[in-house]
Structure 1
Amino acid sequence: MKKALVITLSAIAGVMVLLFAFNRLKSDSNKKVYFWRTSPVEKGDINVVVTATGTLAADTTIQVGTEVTGLLLKQFVDFNSVVTKGEVIALIDTSLLYPSMVDAMAQWEKAVAQRDEYLRELNRAKIMLDNKVIAQQDYDIALTSYQTEQALVKQLKADYERALVNLRYATIRSPVNGIVISRNYDVGIMVIASFSTPTLFTIANDLTKMQVQANVDEADIGNVAVGQPADFTVDAFPDTAFRGTVTQVRRNPVPIQNVVNYVAIIETPNPGLKLLPGLTANININVQTHSNVLKVPANALSFTPPAEYLNSAAQIPDSIKRKIELERSKIANKMILSNAELAATYIWVQKGNEIYPVLVVKGITDGIFTEIRGEIKEGDRAVTGINSTAAAQTTQDEGQKSPFMPKFPTHSNK
């Protein structure tokens, strides 16, 4: 009796085990298989750079003009001429300026002679007034005539000195030592000095020191500071990289095609005089560098597995699932995240056929790679996306497929 009961119970238990195994096999056959796209966690350097374009210019540029109107009579320098301070570089015709100076001098000398005559008359009037020969009124008239003429002498002297200065202005001299990089007028042209001074020459004080005037986008200007190194290239020497230093960040906004830019000045040495004024420079300003850090592709930080996978993944604790869903909901609803929420995030790491979330703290990024810190090591496979999905049953029936059909890998790329 007991033996029959044991046999019956054993049979029932066996049937239950078979039913459980059958249901589990059926469930597994309907489960989706994910083929993850991964990238290894690496160690290396991350350089954060701000890109910009700009124009090269001499460190100090002087515009030489004229303050008098006249015919450009002579030029003693041309493009690329080396000049010294005080050297005569051009002459303006003095056919009208010299007679004006002579006329002003004659008017001044005439007024001086008249003033001296009035002074003698004033002295005689003083003697006669003391001897009571003339009235006080007559003396006052003589004094007023002398004072008036004295003021006229000062006025005419100023006119003479002004004419003399204008005559001197007809001789154009270099104000600095340097190189002529621009000549804007030819001999025989009438130069008219009115409200603005016409520029005859542009002189670069020292071409061994150049500066790049970089136009930095308003979205990047907050990362640029004085003292940061910068690398740039020019089309004239595409295989040569030049190095400079940010020396000034100007606060004046410069709209370019409806985009606000700010000018950053980058000083660079030019001992070989290879760099020329006006060249267009493509600039990388090195904002920040972290060396020998763990880094992953930037899109690994934005990847989250499908909700279907999260719901069926038994290896992921429910608490982490809730955090991930909450973070996904905030991003979807465009909610403002705190600094701590922006810095901390999950990276999905593949182990076997499954993936697991690892909490990391984000560091700097160059747009391609992002620095990370956390319980993660070099060589781990960070998930960046999904290559494809398939039902498990299709992989089991792979032998029944046409040999000409492409086959998907059963594990991630390594």
Structure 2
Amino acid sequence: MTKGKVAVILLLLAGAATWWAANYYSSSGEVLPPLHTEQVGHGDVSQRVVAYGRLEPVQKVTVGSQVSGIVDQIFVDFNSVVERGQVIAQIDPSTFEAEVSSAQAELESAEAGLDLARTRWERVQELRERQFISPSEVEEASSTLRQAEAQVEVRRHALQRAQRELDRCTIKSPTDGIVISREVDVGQTVAASLSAPILFELAASLDRMLIHASVSEADIGNVLEGQRATFRVDAHRDRNFEGEVIQVRNSPMMEDNVVHYETIIAVDNSEQLLKPGMTTEVEIITEEKQDVMRVRNTALRARLPDNLRPADPDEAFDDGRTVYRLQNGELVAHSVRTGLTDGVYTEILEGVSPGDTLAVGLSLRSEQNGNDRSFMTGSQAQY
């Protein structure tokens, strides 16, 4: 027998048992049949927006290379803790060392040419005082000196550029943090012709993280900065973590033809239980009331047979709900004014008092092997 047939048979049996109990007790004139009830009490009620997102470090830095070459050494690995300025990798510097040597030699040659031009200029100055040379020769000597000075500056800058390229072969950490990704191995060639290749990803700190959650456009109007949020991750399903909304971004994102808005939630990770990239199920608390009179939602949609349902109350609140209070073995209908609801509990503003017992539906209890079994009508069983 298939599961579907079993479910249909159980549903028919429960309905038949309910019908029998209602008719039996009404015809025999005895007390009310067993009822499934809920009691009015006190507790917290909150309205929440559900969203999904991922955990990311507060600051994530991508470390690349501005020069091309072969990775000669790597000094850190995944999860290594690094400090700002610490050497984390080395690219083979031999080519750049040769360029530095060549630039140094060219600078020395230019400086020698400058010395020669200065000596000639001094000699021309002496001959000009004695009027032994023409003005054109003076101008030529002056121009040669300026060219020699400019050539020295060009060669000096070329040496500085070559030295800077050599320094870039030593990859240093730009910040204090932890290595969360290593993209290269020793011996690998990196090419920086068009864009800087990624070597490492560093997280500044994992003690504090951010959730990048996607909130649908239908709910984003209720989400504000400063609101409290709770969330769960698959790695710790038995624990609820807390955070705080710090930013609601205005840039829309289209996902499956639905507009979402990225909402940033700050999270304390001092216990180091959360890791970058974890997916989260977030509940943003948009409104919350503590220690208010409340009742389970099932009591607001009680299902009773017509012969047991009492007459509607004489006075009813506008947009109120009708509940059935158990009083001295009888059911009495009351109109209640409701407030905030969280899908499980609803705040009761007026109409009943704490401790009142409200009927939800019929319940048949039979003892079998010492266990009680209750049958509830309709959708009551889910609660």
**Distance in 2 of aligned mates of 1:225 and 1:265:** 11
Cα shift readout 1:275-299 (whole Å, capped 9, x = no counterpart): 2211111112222211233446679
Match of 2:342 among 360, 366, 371: 366
Cα shift readout 1:141-188 (whole Å, capped 9, x = no counterpart): 222222233223222222211110111111112223332221111111
SS of structure 2 residue aligned to 1:96: helix
Decide whether the 8 Å contact of 1:300 with 1:347 is kept in 2: no
| Residue 370 of structure 1, CA deviation | 4.2
Match of 1:347 among 300, 316, 321: 321
Q: Which amino acid aligns with 2:68?
A: T
Q: Which amino acid aligns with 2:319?
A: T
Q: Which amino acid aligns with 1:224?
A: V
**Distance in 2 of aligned mates of 1:356 and 1:211:** 48
SS of structure 1 residue aligned to 2:123: helix
**Distance in 2 of aligned mates of 1:165 and 1:60:** 27
| Residue 269 of structure 1, CA deviation | 2.4
Q: Which amino acid aligns with 1:345?
A: D
CA gap of 1:126–1:240, structure 2 versus 1, over 3 A, is same
Query: How do residues 62-141 of structure 1 correspond to structure 2 at under 5 angstroms?
Result: 62-141=61-140
**Distance in 2 of aligned mates of 1:225 and 1:188:** 51
- The structure with the greater share of residues assigned to helix is 1
CA gap of 1:353–1:365, structure 2 versus 1, over 3 A, is closer
Decide whether the 8 Å contact of 2:49 with 2:285 is kept in 1: yes
Decide whether the 8 Å contact of 1:230 with 1:244 is kept in 2: yes
Task: Provide the residue aligned with 2:250 in structure 1.
Answer: 251
Cα shift readout 1:346-379 (whole Å, capped 9, x = no counterpart): 3345588886766x4x643324444453566557
TM (normalized to structure 2)?
Answer: 0.70
Decide whether the 8 Å contact of 2:180 with 2:203 is kept in 1: yes
**Distance in 2 of aligned mates of 1:120 and 1:135:** 18
| Residue 112 of structure 1, CA deviation | 2.0
SS of structure 1 residue aligned to 2:76: coil
| Residue 40 of structure 1, CA deviation | 6.8
SS of structure 1 residue aligned to 2:154: helix
Task: Provide the residue aligned with 2:292 in structure 1.
Answer: 293
Cα shift readout 1:66-91 (whole Å, capped 9, x = no counterpart): 11000111112222223333322211
| Residue 200 of structure 1, CA deviation | 0.8
| Residue 315 of structure 1, CA deviation | 7.9
Cα shift readout 1:293-342 (whole Å, capped 9, x = no counterpart): 34466799999xxxxxxxxx99869xx9xxx9xxxxxxxxxxxxxxxxxx
Matched, 1:60 2:34: no
Q: Which amino acid aligns with 1:137?
A: S
Task: Provide the residue aligned with 1:231 in structure 2.
Answer: 230
Q: Which has the larger radius of gyration?
A: 1
Matched, 1:206 2:205: yes
**Distance in 1 of aligned mates of 2:164 and 2:312:** 95
CA gap of 1:101–1:121, structure 2 versus 1, over 3 A, is same
Q: Which runs of no fewer than 5 residues in structure 1 stay unpaired?
A: 1-36, 304-312, 325-343, 388-408, 410-414
Decide whether the 8 Å contact of 1:75 with 1:91 is kept in 2: yes
Decide whether the 8 Å contact of 1:46 with 1:369 is kept in 2: yes
SS of structure 2 residue aligned to 1:147: helix
Task: Provide the residue aligned with 1:283 in structure 2.
Answer: 282
TM (normalized to structure 1)?
Answer: 0.66
Q: Which amino acid aligns with 1:347?
A: R
Decide whether the 8 Å contact of 1:348 with 1:382 is kept in 2: no
Q: Which amino acid aligns with 1:253?
A: P
**Distance in 2 of aligned mates of 1:138 and 1:273:** 79
Task: Give the number of equivalent residue pairs.
Answer: 318
Decide whether the 8 Å contact of 2:312 with 2:333 is kept in 1: no
Decide whether the 8 Å contact of 2:312 with 2:334 is kept in 1: no
Task: Provide the residue aligned with 2:373 in structure 1.
Answer: none
Matched, 1:179 2:178: yes
Q: Which amino acid aligns with 1:373?
A: L
| Residue 128 of structure 1, CA deviation | 2.9
Q: Which amino acid aligns with 1:255?
A: M
Q: Which runs of no fewer than 5 residues in structure 2 stay unpaired?
A: 1-35, 303-310, 363-376, 378-383
Identity fraction in percent: 37
